[in-house]
Amino acid sequence: MLNADIINKERAINELTLVIRKIFSEPEICEIALKIASKHLNDVNAHVLIADELSASTNVKIPVEHSEADTLFLNLLIDMAKDANALY
């Protein structure tokens, strides 16, 4: 693996760690995030819609240009929303 690849992976891990800390410090973010993800689950531009609404309604701020960590987080939210919807 190239040095730049390692640095990018470390950056993604650090960003995800910060988001997880925010969620643990404010547990209501999880419920809000899942509701938002469920609402936009099947939209063509789901990542953008979820990121925009989550940024507007919580202290989790996802920039317009999604980093690798942002994309991983959004994919996780979508997967969790699909799982929750499958239970009903």
Dihedral angle sign, alpha carbons of residues 77, 83, 87, 88: positive
| pTM for the predicted model, two decimal places | 0.84
Instruction: Give the Cβ contact number of residue 13 at 10 Å.
Output: 13
DSSP per residue over 15-58, as a string?
Answer: HHHHHHHHHHHSTHHHHHHHHHHHHHTTSTTHHHHHHHHHHHHS
| Total domain count, the chain | 1
Q: Range of 63's domain?
A: 3-86
**Tokens linked to 13:** 């891990």
pLDDT at 88 (0 to 100): 62
Write out pLDDT tens, residues 40-54: 999 999 999 999 999
Write out pLDDT tens, residues 60-76: 899 999 988 899 999 99
